[in-house]
Amino acid sequence: MHRFLVRHLETAAKVPVYARHHWRTLLIRGCVITIAIVLVVVIGKHLDADLPGMEGWIEEQGPWMPVIFCAIFLVASLLCLPADIFVFTAGTLFDLGWGFALAALTEYIAMVIQFFIARGFLKKRIESFMEKHPRFRAIDKAVSKKGLRIGFLLRLGPVPFSPLSYVLGVSRIRFRTYMLASVGMLPSLLAVVYYGVVARHLTRLATGQEHHGWVHYASMIVGAIVALFASVYIARVARKALKDADAL
């Protein structure tokens, strides 16, 4: 497990903390979101005849379907697999309210487990990795002085969620501060769930299972665009604040 984790930490170490090319980030993220939504709609259209049966089967599982989803998502988070895929899926399967609640609950459970795994079982290995990367050493130094502020800014977007949890786990941050700082992940989490919701509704429209006026769908798409701009802007502000604080 530790080798798999270190590979993902290596990837996280290459993510630029302060993105000067704001519009490039916006364009790339917008393209990724658009492709994801289009793929869901195309697959849904291809499975047109099977969708009612699939949705019926999901409803028949009752509370077990959210439990199964959260369990898979939890394992993926512990292994540092891309969380956005599962957060997006939460919006597609469970809509906005339940999707956000399930995604947030799973992320919080993963965060607690990652903290104690890092502080116990993988402490020496992660510390050894951090010694080779000035950015992560800087995180340890910064959170020892301004744990809540730096932890919150980091959670807003500059560093991938799961690798950051492991790094913070071996830092000098207190567990209570670690948990409070994690509130910073919620805006981006809500935005990605919303993208999944948009994909869900457009799929139902394309397959004839849902009929609303054009204002409904236009407002959903505009909402997705607003969420995209807001999430990129928030991450940019967080990166600039970290740079100004000489945290990274």
Domain segments of the chain: what residues?
Answer: 27-244
pLDDT of residue 110: 94
pLDDT of residue 17: 47
Query: How do the residues of the chain divide into helix, strand and coil, expressed in percent and rounded to 5?
Result: 85, 0, 15
Contact indicator for 130, 102 with CB cutoff of 8 Å: no
Q: How many CB atoms lie within 10 A of CB 209?
A: 14
Q: 170-190, pLDDT tens digit by residue?
A: 888 889 989 998 998 898 899
Residue with tokens 């997705």: 224
Q: 11-22, pLDDT tens digit by residue?
A: 555 555 444 445
Predicted TM-score (pTM) of the model is 0.82
pLDDT of residue 15: 53
Q: 27-70, pLDDT tens digit by residue?
A: 777 787 888 888 877 776 666 555 555 666 666 667 888 899 99
Please compute the mean of the pLDDT values over residues 143-148 and round it to a whole number.
74
> Which residues touch 5 (CB under 8 Å, ≥6 apart)?
79, 80, 122, 125, 126, 163, 166
